[in-house]
Amino acid sequence: MTPAEAIEAAAAAGAETRYRLQFAREMYEAGRRDAEAAAALRYDGLTRESDEALAAVNDRRWGPGGRAHFADPRPGDFPGRAARPEAEAGQPEPEPETELEVV
């Protein structure tokens, strides 16, 4: 092998190495993009399922109006006791007097 042939073979080997490294980089980037897209689809599916499950739990927990309307009156609730006439007149009820025992 002549020196010119050796130099030409080394240049070809260098070009082949550069080509293989560029091809490997491009394939890695393509695989990474595909994997990230697949992971995003899986994550979207998982979060959608968990969001639906959480919504069902919250509906059972807080009722039809959600947490903000949990304490609102509902049909069939106890309406409360009827007001006493003296309470309606604005008169305060007298407190019962307690008798103290002297020992």
Using one digit for the tens of pLDDT, what is the confidence trace for 14-58?
999 999 999 999 999 999 999 999 998 888 877 888 888 888 898
Distance CA 19, CA 11 (A): 12
Q: Is residue 41 in some structural domain?
A: yes
Q: Is residue 95 in some structural domain?
A: no
Instruction: Give me the pLDDT at residue 53, please.
Output: 87
Instruction: Give me the pLDDT at residue 89, please.
Output: 60
Distance CA 65, CA 44 (A): 27
Q: Is residue 76 in some structural domain?
A: no
Instruction: Give me the pLDDT at residue 85, please.
Output: 62
pTM for the model stands at 0.39
Q: Is residue 37 in some structural domain?
A: yes
Q: Is residue 47 in some structural domain?
A: yes
Q: Is residue 58 in some structural domain?
A: yes
- What is the span of the domain harbouring residue 30? 3-64
Q: Is residue 25 in some structural domain?
A: yes
Instruction: Give me the pLDDT at residue 16, please.
Output: 93
Q: Is residue 100 in some structural domain?
A: no
For residue 71, give both structure tokens: 């304490």
Asked whether 102 and 91 are in contact (CB, 8 A), the reply is no
For residue 63, give both structure tokens: 């009722």
- Give whole-number Cα distances, 84 to 23, 28, 78, 79, 89, in Å: 90, 82, 17, 15, 9
Q: pLDDT category, 83, cuts 50, 70, 90?
A: low
Task: Give the number of domains in the chain.
Answer: 1
